[in-house]
Amino acid sequence: MKNKKEISILIIYTGGTIGMVHDPNTGSLVPIDFRHISDHVPELRKFGYDLHSISFDPVKDSSNIDPGVWIKIAEIIEESYDDFDGFVILHGTDTMAYTASALSFMLENLAKPVILTGSQLPIGLLRTDGRENLITAIEIAAAMENGLPAVPEVCIFFDNKLTRGNRTTKMSAEHFDAFYSPNYHPLAEVGLHLKYYNNLISYPDKDQKLIVHKEFDTNVAILKLFPGLNRKLVDAITKTEGLRGLIIETYGSGNAPTYQWFLEDLKQYIDKGGIIFNVTQCHGGSVEMGLYETSRQMLAAGVVSGRDITSEASVTKLMHLLGRYSSKEKVVQSLNMSLAGEIS
C-alpha cells in the first residue's frame, strides 16, 4: 500500500469489538494484527493511501479507558503529527464519546482529521458494520478540499454519520446507529455521496502549532437527580475529600429541587472552593438557568450552567480544566466558553 499516493493515514487500534476476528483454532474472538488489516478488508487496497497502524498491547476494552489512555493516544498523534495527513482511532463504543470529547480539548490548534470509529459487530463476522465504518472513516480522514483537510476536527464516524466528537453520545447498545449528536447537526452524511456540511465544520487558524494538553484532575463526581433524593447522599458527595468539581445532572432545562437543605449543601460546597456544573439529564436541549424558579436559586448560589453540553463532554472538560488550571476563577471562566465547539 505504500507510496501510491502522498496521502498517509495512521490507524490507531486501542481495542474494541471492531478489531476482533475468530481464532480458527479455538473459535473465540481475538484481536487482529492491524499490520495485515487489508487481508480482512481488501477494499482498503483500492484507496491507494499509505496506511500505517499502531496497536495497543495489550488492547483495551473501552470500559477500562481512562485519562492515561487518552494521554497515550494524544502522544501518538503528537509524535507522528507531521508524518500523516489524518488519523483514525479504532475504539470500543461504550466510552468512545468520552475519548473523543477528551481529545478535542487536549489537541489545541488541531489542523488534521482525527476520526474515531468502531463497530457493534466484530470485523471478522460476515454481517459486521465495522467494515463500512473503517473504510469510510479512512476516506474522511484522507479527504482534502482545496489542498487542506476537509474535516480538521476530532469526530466520530458511525453508521453513515460523521459527528463532532464532543457533541456525540452513545444512544444504543444494540442498533448499528449507536451514536447521536443531539444538539449539533452531523458534519457529514454518507449515502450515494459523501456530503460535507462545511458551514458546520470548525477550521483552525492557519499556521498555529499543535499544542497537546496532558493534564487531568479526576477529582470530579456526577450527581444525577431523581425524585426522593436523599440528603445523606448529597452530603456524602459534597464532603468527599479532595472533590474539586461536581456535575449535577438536572431535570429539563436545568431544574432541581428547591429544598432548603439541598441549596444550602450546594452553596456550602461552592463557598469552600468547589465548582458545580449544571448539565441536563435530557438527551437534547439546553440548560437555561433562571428560566424557572427551581434553577434561579442554583444560579444565585454560584452554580455554572453547562448549556447544551453532553454528559461526556462535561466530565472530560471539567477534568481537563481542573488539570490545566489551579485557579477556580479560571476554570469557571473556561467552563463558560466554547473551547472546541462543545457548546453553542
Beta bridge partners of 149: 144
Q: Is 26 among the catalytic positions?
A: no
Strands 220-224 and 245-250: parallel
Higher pLDDT, 53 or 156: 156
Judge whether 270 and 236 are in contact, CB under 8 Å. no
The CATH fold of domain 220-335: Rossmann fold (3.40.50)
pLDDT of residue 1: 41
244 DSSP β-pair partners: none
CA 237 to CA 269: how far, in whole Å?
A: 10
Domain map (residue ranges) of the chain:
8-212, 220-335
**H-type helices in the chain, by residue range?**
37-40, 67-80, 96-106, 130-142, 231-238, 260-271, 293-301, 311-324, 328-335
Identify the active-site residue in 17, 136, 163, 168: 17
| Confidence label for 27 from pLDDT (cuts 50, 70 and 90) | confident
φ, ψ (nearest 5 deg) of residue 166: -85, 10
The grid cell for 80 is 507522528
Q: In the predicted model, is pLDDT for residue 320 greater than 50?
A: yes
Residue 179, helix vs strand vs coil:
strand
Residue labelled with grid coordinates 483495551: 60
Give this prediction's pTM: 0.92
- For residue 335, pLDDT over 60 is answered with yes
Query: What's the confidence (pLDDT) of residue 37?
Result: 66
Domain 8-212 has CATH 3.40.50.300: no
Q: Is residue 165 within 8 Å of 97, Cβ to Cβ?
A: yes
Q: Is pLDDT larger for residue 166 or for residue 295?
A: 166
